[in-house]
Amino acid sequence: MAQQAPSTHTVAFLARRAAMALAAAAVLGGAVAPAAYAVDGADGAPAAGSTEKLPEGLYGTKDPQYDGVWRQSLALLAQHTVGVRPATPAVRWLVGQQCADGAFTAFRAEPGKPCDAKTMRDTNQTAAAVQALAALGGHDETVQKAVNWLKSVQNDDGGWSSMAGSPSDANSTSVVIGALAAAGAKPESVTSKKGGRTPYDGLLTFRLGCDVKEGERGAFTFQLKGAAANADATAAAATGALGKGFVVAPAGGAADTPVKPLSCKDGKADGKAGDKGPAAAEGGAGYLVAQLDKNGHHLLSAMPGQKKQPDVGNTADAVVALAAGGHRSAAQQPLKWLEKNASAWARQNGPAAYAQLVLAAHATGTDPRSFGGTDLVTALNATGPEPAATTPGKDARAAKDSDGGVNVWWVVGVGLAVGAGIGFLLSGRRKKNDL
């Protein structure tokens, strides 16, 4: 199947979910990395012969054109979550990427130049920045301006697309819900100008119910067009439906919640399965667990015309979603599979990948400093400017306290086969995969 250059929407989607959009563009559209941002392989070191410097404070060495704000936001948020105070230049860079109207785009090479009508404002990048800056504190005006912009581009159905004016999708709606919650704006109180629909109303339109085949019930689609069960969208929505964002607090001593797949009787959902947020999250968790079990405790994805392969990022999202719903036991086997294969994928994909793993560890009370043999915090810190301060062992103590000393059981990653890195990266980021 011939591959086409990515659309604006697709590029933003890839950037948000994988934080590696330059690689995505290279595969999908034949683009190549500019010399200034070329890298010498998996360690992310600057390539020999590079003549330009990356912006001061930016995390990662790859071209930030499509994912700069996304990867920076995740990096800063993950650092803060585990007791690391980010470097001032890193925070300053992120704040400086905001447009005057409150929106963020993926990367502004000239922050001093005002955003214009051609600037590709992105709800995903904006929502990620909101979550990071709200957590760091001290940026109330920046956060409020961003939230106001997000509210201004809410679609009539209550949801969001990555690009304002496009049809809503489950992933974008979920990340905005997380941003609203992080900023202290109750998502249920944010309603569309026409129709008065909430973000949850919008999100639940993508949920598949009893009118689809049994194996897809409870799943979410990426968009209504096509209406195919999508594991990536389901993982995002199962977290968003609970009003949670990237940071999910460890369950601590809370009881483990069994996963209950959406059950139907006479074509209708049993009991109170209905279409409310928690019930929808539970149905999504049931679908994810079924997919994880079927595939050997991980999720799969495939590039068009290629064999299905393990999807690292989507599996990480799935375990965070399970943690958000309190489904600790259901996450154990996926965690063990991921724990064995974390390092290579994270090294290949850089700061956002390390951040994703740190946040997954945090959600389960796992020590990110001893994560399948890798100190994720140190590795993340090494991808950008030296942090201002660090609180050693913060999440190590949390892991001990949360389950009475239970051994590590939630670690994220994947073994990356030589030459298959881009395939892993992109396979689950297609908005119409068949998982």
How far apart (Å, rounded) are the C-alpha atoms in residues 216 and 134? 36
pLDDT category of residue 137 using cuts at 50, 70 and 90: very high
Residue with tokens 């030296």: 386
Contacts of 120 (CB under 8 A, 6+ apart): 8, 12, 105, 106, 163
Kindly tell me the sign of the dihedral angle through the C-alpha atoms of 206, 291, 74, 348. negative
Q: Among 58-62, 146-150, 250-254, which stretch is predicted with the lowest mean pLDDT? A: 250-254
Q: What is the pLDDT of residue 340?
A: 81
Q: Are 353 and 42 in contact (CB under 8 A)?
A: no
What pLDDT was estimated at residue 345?
Answer: 87
pLDDT at 393: 61
- Residue 39 DSSP symbol: B
**311 or 86, which is more confident:** 86
Which of 70-74, 255-259, 429-433 has the lowest average pLDDT?
A: 429-433
List the end-to-end C-alpha distance of the chain, in Å, as a whole number. 19
Nearest to 70 by CA among 381, 435, 371, 352: 352
What's the pLDDT score for residue 218? 95
Task: For the chain, give the percent of residues with pLDDT over 70.
Answer: 75
Percent of the chain scored above 90 by pLDDT?
A: 57
Residue, of 417 and 120, whose pLDDT is higher: 120
Q: Which residue has the higher pLDDT, 250 or 127?
A: 127
Closest CA to 237 of 252, 225, 258, 222: 222
Q: In this predicted structure, which of 1-15, 159-173, 368-382 has the lowest mean pLDDT?
A: 1-15
Q: At what angle do helices 312-324 and 277-294 cross, to 10 degrees?
A: 140
Q: Is the pLDDT of residue 334 over 50?
A: yes
Q: Mean pLDDT, to the nearest integer, of 115-132?
A: 97
Task: Specify the range with the lowest mean pLDDT, choosing from 87-91, 96-100, 104-108, 396-400.
Answer: 396-400
Mean pLDDT on 286-303? 90
Mean pLDDT of 317-345: 87
pLDDT, one tens digit per residue, over 259-287 is 988 888 745 554 444 457 899 999 999 99
* Lowest mean per-residue pLDDT among 10-19, 202-211, 359-368: 10-19
Closest CA to 42 of 258, 343, 292, 337: 343
pLDDT of residue 199: 98
What are the residues whose beta carbons fall under 8 Å from the beta carbon of 84, sequence distance 6 or more? 377, 381, 387, 389, 390, 391
Q: Alpha-carbon distance 304 to 427, whole Å?
A: 8
Lowest mean pLDDT of 19-23, 278-282, 317-321, 417-421, name the range. Answer: 417-421
Q: How confident is the model at residue 433 (pLDDT cuts 50, 70, 90)?
A: very low
Tokens of 234: 């389901």
User: Does position 302 have pLDDT exceeding 80, yes or no?
Assistant: no
Q: Which residues pair with 389 in a beta bridge?
A: 85
- Whether the CB-CB separation of 80 and 355 falls below 8 Å is answered with no
- The token duo for 265 is 């009787």
**Is the CB of residue 179 less than 8 Å from the CB of residue 126?**
yes
The DSSP-derived string for 255-318 is PPPPP----EETTEE-TT-SSSHHHHHHHHHHHHHHHHHHTTSS-EE--TTS--EE-HHHHHHH
65-94: average pLDDT:
97
Average pLDDT on 346-355 reads 92
Task: Output the average pLDDT for the chain.
Answer: 79
